[in-house]
Chains A and B, each alone.
Chain A
Amino acid sequence: MHPLRLSLCEIDYTEQKELLTINLKLFLTDVNEAILFDPNSTELAFCRPNEAANANRLLMEYVNRFFFVKANNERVNLKIKSKRLSGKGENTALWIYFECKQSDPIRSLEIKNAIFTDLFFDQNNIVYLDIDGINKSLMLNKRTQIYELIF
Chain B
Amino acid sequence: MLKSISSYLVLVVFFVLINGCKQKPVETDSKTETEEELVQRALEIHKRVLTLDTHADTPLRMIEPGFDMAERHDPKETGSKVDYPRMKEGDLDAIFFAAFVAQDIRDDDGNTRAKALCHQMLDSVITSTERNADIVGLAVNPDDAYELEKEGKRAIFIGIENGYPIGNDLSNIEEYYNKGVRYITLVHSSNNDIADSATDEKGAEHGGISEFGAKVVGEMNRLGIMVDVSHGNDSVFYDAVKLSKAPIIASHSNARAVTEHQRNMTDEMLKLMSENGGVVQLTMLADYLRTAPPNAARDSAMAAIRAGMTKPISELTDEERSALRKSFTELNEKYPNPPATVQHVADHIDHITKVAGIDHVGIGCDFDGGGGIEGVFDASEVMNITIELVRRGYTEEEIAKIWGGNLIRVFKEVQLVAEQLQS
Contact = CB atoms under 8 A, between A and B. Distances in A.
A124 interface: yes
A91 interface: yes
A124 B60 contact: yes
Nearest to B324: A37
Q: Counting chain B CB atoms within 10 Å of each CB, which of A2, A8, A87, A139 scores highest?
A: A2
A58 B57 CA distance: 33
A36 B325 CA distance: 10
Contact of A1 (B116, B199, B202): B199
A77 interface: no
A119 B342 CA distance: 27
Contacts of A2: 188-189, 199, 369-370
Contacts of A90: 201
Contact of A88 (B76, B104, B202): B202
A87 B189 CA distance: 11
B398 interface: no
A18 interface: no
Contact of B104 (A25, A54, A130, A141): A25
Contacts of B63: 137-139
Q: Counting chain B CB atoms within 10 Å of each CB, which of A4, A90, A138 scores highest?
A: A4
A1 B104 CA distance: 15
B66 to A, nearest CB: 6
B215 to A, nearest CB: 26
A91 B64 contact: no
Q: Counting chain B CB atoms within 10 Å of each CB, which of A44, A124, A141 scores highest?
A: A124
B115 to A, nearest CB: 10
Given A4-B370, A8-B104, A54-B314, A138 B65 contact: yes
B102 A126 contact: yes
Interface stretch (A68-76, A97-105, A142-150): A142-150
Contacts of B314: 35-36, 43-44, 52, 54, 58
B235 interface: no
A124 B121 CA distance: 15
B335 interface: no
Contacts, number: 91
A4 B369 contact: yes
A128 B286 CA distance: 30
A1 B201 CA distance: 10
A7 to B, nearest CB: 9
A15 B188 CA distance: 35
B235 to A, nearest CB: 19
Contact of B64 (A3, A88, A130, A140): A140
Given A88-B202, A139-B64, A6 B313 contact: no
B201 A88 contact: yes
A26 B63 CA distance: 20
Interface string B53-88: 000010011011111000000001111000000000
A87 B64 contact: no
A141 B369 contact: no
Nearest to B60: A139
Contacts of A147: 65
A1 B117 contact: no
Interface of A: 1-4, 6, 8, 10, 25, 35-38, 43-44, 52, 54, 58, 87-91, 118, 121-124, 126, 128, 130, 135-144, 147
The 7 closest A-B pairs by CB, nearest first: A3-B370, A122-B79, A89-B201, A88-B201, A139-B64, A137-B117, A4-B370
20 contacts: A1-B189, A2-B189, A4-B57, A4-B100, A37-B313, A37-B328, A38-B313, A52-B314, A87-B190, A87-B201, A87-B202, A88-B200, A89-B201, A91-B200, A118-B325, A128-B117, A138-B63, A143-B77, A144-B64, A144-B67
Given A35-B314, A139-B61, A140-B64, 6 more contacts: A3-B285, A3-B286, A90-B201, A126-B117, A141-B79, A143-B64
